[in-house]
Chain A
Amino acid sequence: MNATAVTSDGLEAVTTDAGQRPPNAFASIAGRALPTVLLYIASICAALGLCAILVSSTGGSATQVFSALLDGSLRSAGAWGLTISTATPLLVVAVGTIVGAKAGMDNIGQEGQLLLGAGAAAFVATRLDLPGPLLLLASFLAAAAIGGLWAGLAAVMKFTRKVPEVISTLLLIFIASQVVTFSLTKKWLLRSLDSTSRTNNGEPLPQSARLPGIEIFGNVVTWGAVVALVMTLLVGIVLARTTIGFKLRVLGLNPRTARRFGVSAIGIGGGALIFSGAAAGLAGGLWLTGGSAGDRFTGGISSNIGWQGLLVALLARQKVSLAVTMAFVFAGLRTGSQFVAATGVDRRITDVIQAMLVLSLLIPPAIQSLQGRRRRSGVAA
């Protein structure tokens, strides 16, 4: 938690620096801050209120559910460590997505890229004989490579045949899921070598292919979290401070101007799309080896992490610093959901809460820009 907060601040500084706020803007921001905050609070309360009504009306206790969520994500022993470990793949997916979105590439196939990434990592980890750290490294490389390849297919289709990447990445999710189901039926691919196991699961990962944890105050945090934070920091710096980050932003903001100044949509844009896929793949590798998802690969391992990572990125509105916070909140809802089942309410209420939260966070900025527009254009508000 501490580590997250510190890095978050650091990145905020980077992005603020890069932003084009004039020095005197602080006063005007402070002036507007109060209604903004109120708007957010009202909106979030409305969303949670609706969820509470939903729970109560189906015979559950809303207070119990919310209390269970807090227990599961923060309060119970070891909970926040678990939450940070769960936030790790969400953050990695989100950061990759942000890079793609900055370049104007709408990758929405992270769920499939992540699943394949986890599968590739499992294949390398269970089939190759390499010494400890090298095995992990090779698994991660394989995970990133296949995620990048999957997004690369969408890039090729976009630039050669104008297939919109929104559709192609979407359809590739379902193909990925069938590919993984298929490979779980073949022992030469991912299926467990132990033929007594009836369900199609992968081989248990060898000890050397499991990411160690860091113990902090009785909480175990995966090393993957460090990888994720370093990656977030690097991406933040590259986007804000380097020529390649600059070209990427120009491409996303105005592709025709970018082309005129020699920014290659295929090179930079395709690269950003592939990077976002590779990040999702890597997230799959981190999730698999991190231990929170069990000790072996299964067909359901992605369990919406790709989708949720995408939502984190969308909500962070292309700011890597905000993505850190959002990933933690989303992870909290995931880990909290384990405790909800004990209250007798179906744990999928957390998916509802998550989506409602996203919608509620979309409303205040929309209302504000609407008001701003009305003021400017003079349409009676």
Chain B
Amino acid sequence: MNRGIFQSHVRRTPAGFTLLEMSSAMSVLLILAVALVVMLQQHVLFMEMFRRQSFLTVEAPKIGNLIGRIINHTDHYFVYGSKADALAGAQPVLTGGSAVRLFFKSADQETEERLIAVEPTAAGNALRFYSWRADGSETSWTISNRIANAQFSSDQGILNVMLQGPNGEEVTYGGGAR
């Protein structure tokens, strides 16, 4: 019994690794760590790229869908330099407008008016839709607050809405041909 314990102590081998083994292991771990960091950086870069492209992939189609549904039902329209000009009934413009007054024919042949205007926000600009209740009070909702700018123009009889994204993107929707 005692002999066995004694034998195990006698046959002890030196623990640990040699300097060469440690150096090799650390070098390889370092290479692996660098490779993983590079992969992570690349992934972050791609994610950032996708985030920057989200205006054209996500936001612009939604705005285009909403704008198209609205302006394609318009009977006629006038483009103005600003929302204040539109509300004041100033001289309409053909290009470079920041607001557009839209006129719709209701079922009882009454003319209803709506307004779409570009308004400054803390983060840039927003595209807002305005309408008025029967008592004359104003109500509005935001079409998008992720645009850098938007411009309305009337060209060859159609209403164009050029949307500018936060990273220099540009896309133009058309309609209002009735």
A binds B: no
Binding site for A on B (CB under 8 A): none
Binding site for B on A (CB under 8 A): none
